Amino acid sequence: MRRKYAKAIAAALIMTMVSGCGNAASPRQDAGDARGQDASGMGVGGAAAGADETGGAAAGSQASGDLDGDGQTGDGGKPAPLENDEPEVYEEETLYTQKENILPIAESAAAWGISYKIEKAEYTESFGDRNLEHLENYLSEARTDSQGNLSGDYKYLFLTITFTNTTDEFQDINRNAGGIIVIGDSLNTLLWSNDVVYYDTYWEEGGAYQFHHWGLEPGESVTSEVGWVIEGCDSMTEREGDALAERIGSAGPYELYYQVKKYDGDNEGSFFIDLGVKVE
């Protein structure tokens, strides 16, 4: 779960991070003017060579290693060092949403002709009586016992979702299309987890690597339970440092949302369904 965060300079937030997870303000409160932040980089500097009005003489002296223009190289003909030889660094653009795009769990949302309705949300360390053969945990940090139960600062988020094809054409959907999101005080969004590790039922008509898909005829629906691994607030804070609270505006706990995503890398047309659970 690698992320880059736009840096802020709030000293009070840094002090909050020292004490671990605190009380988070709800993004439903007035957020003020949410403004996007452009990606920025640090350029590599270099000196531009000046032009000598005499032309030929200056060109001849520079071609022979005369960097001073007076017949002396000064440093043995070595080129002058760059003013800044650090590599260029780019920061990820901060994405925002609007209050009207944040929905309660009882409401459905649609994107690209597929409607998503959250029927149930379960936030737990226990794997329960689910099919262990369908558990694929790719996270080395998240440990499970022989029954699939998680330990440490990790929990499962199991969502029972009804997917409906609202178009008049066959749709091959991805049941892992939506991520689990945290929304900051300024209505900025942060991907908390896209680590889908469980599907209750595999799509048998798909290929070996399409078990997470499902084919829907026009108007057809399928209800499926999909499971994510959610990292706890404390371990995330320990790894990410002050940047997490600086971006979100608090040190947690954080409310979790299911994103019905229209585009990758852009919140335009996306909705965020409040799951009614918090990561602590």
Beta bridge partners of 103: 273
For residue 261, give the nearest of 166, 160, 179, 162 by alpha carbon: 179
211 in Cβ contact with 199 (< 8 Å) = yes
Torsion of CA 27, 276, 271, 163, to 10 degrees: 180
Q: Tokens standing for 242?
A: 């002050």
Q: CB burial class (10 A; 0-12, 13-18, 19+) of residue 211?
A: middle
Instruction: Write down the pLDDT at residue 35.
Output: 35
Instruction: Write down the pLDDT at residue 134.
Output: 94
DSSP state of 88: P
pLDDT digits (tens, 9 = 90+) for 112-128: 999 999 999 999 999 99
Instruction: Write down the pLDDT at residue 14.
Output: 36
* Residue type, position 3, single letter: R
Identify the residue whose tokens are 């084919």.
215
Q: How many CB atoms lie within 10 A of CB 9?
A: 7
Instruction: Write down the pLDDT at residue 237.
Output: 85
Instruction: Write down the pLDDT at residue 265.
Output: 83
For residue 251, give the nearest of 267, 232, 230, 273 by alpha carbon: 232
Phi, psi dihedral angles at 164 (to 5 degrees)? -130, 130
Q: What is the chain's percent helix, strand, coil content, to nearest 5? A: 15, 30, 55
* Residue type, position 276, single letter: G
* Residue type, position 248, single letter: I
Instruction: Write down the pLDDT at residue 82.
Output: 53
Q: Tokens standing for 240?
A: 């990410």
Instruction: Write down the pLDDT at residue 121.
Output: 98
Instruction: Write down the pLDDT at residue 21.
Output: 54
β-strands 102-103, 271-279 pairing: parallel
Ranges of residues in the chain with a pLDDT under 50 are 1-20, 22-25, 28-76, 78-79, 89-90
β-strands 95-96, 102-103 pairing: unpaired
pLDDT digits (tens, 9 = 90+) for 195-209: 899 999 999 888 778
pLDDT digits (tens, 9 = 90+) for 66-78: 444 444 444 445 4
β-strands 180-183, 188-193 pairing: antiparallel
Instruction: Write down the pLDDT at residue 139.
Output: 77
pLDDT digits (tens, 9 = 90+) for 14-45: 334 334 454 444 554 444 343 333 333 333 33
Identify the residue whose tokens are 């070996």.
208
